[in-house]
Amino acid sequence: MDETTTPRQRMPRFPHGFAWGAATAAFQIEGSTTVDGRGPSIWDTFTAQPGRVVDGSDATTSADSYRRWRDDIALLRDLGVDDYRFSIAWPRIQPGGTGPANGAGLDHYSRFVDALGEAGIEPLVTLYHWDLPQALEDEGGWLARDTAQRFADYATLVVDGLGDRVTRWITLNEPAMTSLQGYALGELAPGRTLMLDALPTVHHQLLGHGLALAAIRAARPDAVVGITNNHTLVEPASAEASDLVAAGAFDAIYNRIFAEPVLLGRYPDLSALGLERFPGLEDGDLELIGAPIDFYGVNFYNPTRVAAPSPGSPFAQAGLPFEPVEYQGAPVTGFGWPVVPEALTRLLVGLRESYGDALPPVVITENGASYPDEVVDGRVADASRIAYLDGHVRAVHAAIEAGVDVRGYEVWSLIDNFEWADGYTQRFGLVHLDLETGERTRKDSFAWYRELIAGQRG
């Protein structure tokens, strides 16, 4: 990168106090899956089933961060981040999903949080990033209402153990993906293919959020609590009425059934799906789910173009009133996801327009891109990732200028890691991971982000 393209000189200035960070999740980086009393999660089960993960890999080592956490903190320090978003593995705290805290598991995170504090990096802790204890899945997983209470109990244990040093908590990461890909389509753990019968998992996760929120507030009145939803900007494939209706239905099931209960205390109208009342909903639930939160976490990767289902397509066969179609006219990431930074501005402005004062300050809790990075002569020249991140950071700034209160930005991800059903085929890190040796190599995007952060301070 030459001087003229250095973002430090050209990136607009963000508001004072805007927090810059990087994100990871326990199952994707930790490895050591049988160490210190950790119990099995649905992801251990899923990855052990042949054909579930594209490259046949698993997460037993991954970035080895359970053992190499000091290396991760050194990287974060070098990067100059304000905060680090990481998750706690529920099966390390409650190996069987219930009962008292496993001391060895809690101690690990306690040491980690202390070391972050010494490095001057604020923890932003996700309580649930998809690694449900297998024992709870055996009892129905998120199809069972009881799992919501189990989650609140687990959250209480963690907050009791770490709440004297951790202020900011995210209850759930992307309940949409758990319900849609995990229980409806079977692409992620636990690999169920229930289609619309998966809908109770939406409600039970959100109830888990509400119960955990109340439990955290009771244990630590000073806690700062939010939830992270994955949002996509939905664009109708054409101006035809059928595509507009399809786009609306997709928006409801992907975005709004997760946002509206939390922000407005009600579910959107789902009569297009033949639903009058949300499956699993009981009296009093929405009061818990809609209780005020301190920030709203948004994960954003790409927009989605949606059409009416073509006759005979899998969507039509499943009775779904929409079908995502190829997004033409944009470059794509290694995953094939369209790169459209201004979609993030539109999404954020749209959230503000839809929810008004019910939208608390927003934190971009994930944003990033995968590319097939390689180390060549000790260097990873990931110009495409820099372009992606640069565009999206500017898109966040544009949203702030347009009046959206955005308080922070977390790059997904600090380091290449286990990309769920895509194994190690997709690299999202600012840091390259050598899968054989565990060696960490800072990519060019690492230097870019470090310079961006330094420039915002200077």
Chain contacts with ligand BGC (rule: CB under 6 A)? 25, 28, 173-174, 177, 230, 299, 366, 412, 419, 428
Instruction: Spell out where 323-387 has E strands.
Output: 323-325, 362-367
The residue type of 298 is: V
Are 139 and 101 contacting, i.e. CB atoms less than 8 angstroms apart? no
Q: Which of 30, 122, 174, 419 is the catalytic position? A: 174
Please report how close the Cβ of residue 73 comes to ligand BGC at its closest, in angstroms.
20
Complex with ligand BGC: residue 56 or 336, whichever CB lies closer = 336
Give one DSSP letter per residue of 43-73, joined into a string. HHHHHHSTTSSTTS--SSSTT-TTT-HHHHH
Residues 6+ apart with CB under 8 A from 36: 92, 102, 104, 105, 108
Residues 6+ apart with CB under 8 A from 19: 82, 83, 122, 363, 407, 408, 409
Complex with ligand BGC: residue 290 or 408, whichever CB lies closer = 408
Please report how close the Cβ of residue 269 comes to ligand BGC at its closest, in angstroms.
26
Complex with ligand BGC: residue 25 or 307, whichever CB lies closer = 25
Complex with ligand BGC: residue 231 or 442, whichever CB lies closer = 231
Q: Which of 235, 323, 366, 419 is the catalytic position? A: 366
Complex with ligand BGC: residue 21 or 236, whichever CB lies closer = 21
Please report how close the Cβ of residue 417 comes to ligand BGC at its closest, in angstroms.
7
Distances in Å between the Cα of 89 and the Cα atoms of 47, 126, 254 are 16, 9, 25
The residue type of 13 is: R
Backbone φ and ψ of 123, nearest 5°? -75, 140
Please report how close the Cβ of residue 67 comes to ligand BGC at its closest, in angstroms.
21
Backbone φ and ψ of 49, nearest 5°? -85, 125
Complex with ligand BGC: residue 129 or 150, whichever CB lies closer = 129
**In terms of C-beta density within 10 A (0-12 exposed, 13-18 middle, 19 or more buried), how is residue 351 classed?**
buried
Complex with ligand BGC: residue 154 or 428, whichever CB lies closer = 428
Please tell me the distance from the alpha carbon of residue 333 to that of residue 320, in angstroms, as a whole number. Answer: 27
Give one DSSP letter per residue of 68-101, joined into a string. -HHHHHHHHHHHT-SEEEEE--HHHHSTTSSSS-
410 is catalytic: no
Please report how close the Cβ of residue 348 comes to ligand BGC at its closest, in angstroms.
18
Are 447 and 389 contacting, i.e. CB atoms less than 8 angstroms apart? no
174 is catalytic: yes
Query: H or E stretch including 19?
Result: strand 19-23
Please report how close the Cβ of residue 366 comes to ligand BGC at its closest, in angstroms.
6
Please report how close the Cβ of residue 171 comes to ligand BGC at its closest, in angstroms.
14
Q: What residues act catalytically?
A: 174, 366
